[in-house]
Amino acid sequence: MGSTSARHDGGLGRRDVIKRSAAIGLITVPTMSFLASCASSDSGGSEKAEKGETSAKNPLGVNKSAPLDFVLFDGGFGTEYATDAVKQYEKAFPEAKVTFTPTQKIQTELQPRFNGGTPPDLIDNSGAEQMDMGVLAGKKQLTDLTALMDAPSFDDPAKKVRDTLRPGVLEMGRLDGDPVWIMYYAYTVYGVWYSQTALDKLDAQYPEDWDAMLALCAKAKKKGVAGWTYAGKYPYYLPFSLYPFIGKIGGREVLDAIDNLEPNAWKHPAVKAAFDAYYELFQKGYILKGTPGLDHIQSQTAWTEGKALFIPNGSWVENEAAKTTPEDFQMKVSAPSGLDSSDKLPFGTIWASGGEPFIVPANAKNPEGGMEQLRVMLSEESSKNFTSKVKSLSAFNGGTDGLTLSTALQAGVDALAKAGDNVLNPRLQDWYAALQKEKIGSGALGEMMAGRMTPAEAVKKCQEFADAAAKDGSIKHFKHQ
pLDDT tens digits, one per residue of 206-228: 999 999 999 999 999 999 999 99
242, containing H or E segment: helix 239-250
Distance of CA 312 to the CA centre of its chain: 12
Q: Which CATH superfamily is 5-31+189-352+425-471 part of?
A: Periplasmic binding protein-like II (3.40.190.10)
For residue 329, what is the DSSP state? -
Q: What angle do CA 333, 336, 338 make, to 5 degrees?
A: 150
Nearest one of 226, 185, 174 to 76, comparing CA atoms: 185
Asked whether the beta carbons of 95 and 83 are under 8 A apart, the reply is: no
The residues facing 73 across adjacent strands are 103
Indicate whether 161 pLDDT > 80.
yes
Please give the Cα distance from 383 to 392 (Å, whole number): 10
Spatial distance between the Cα atoms of 198 and 192, rounded to a whole number of angstroms: 14
CB of 368 closer than 8 Å to CB of 352 = no
Residue 375 pLDDT level (bands cut at 50, 70, 90): very high
CATH of domain 68-187+354-404: 3.40.190.10
Closest listed residue to residue 81, CA positions, set 378, 323, 416: 378
Q: Look at residue 4 in the predicted model and tell me its pLDDT.
A: 30
At 454 the pLDDT is 98
Kindly tell me if the per-residue pLDDT of 43 is higher than 70: no
286-332 pLDDT, tens digit per residue, is 999 999 999 999 999 999 999 999 999 999 899 899 999 999 999 99
CA 447 to chain centre: 21
Q: In this structure, what DSSP letter does residue 355 have?
A: E
Across all residues in the chain, what is the average pLDDT?
90
- Residue intervals in the chain for CATH 3.40.190.10: 5-31+189-352+425-471, 68-187+354-404
Residues composing the chain: 481
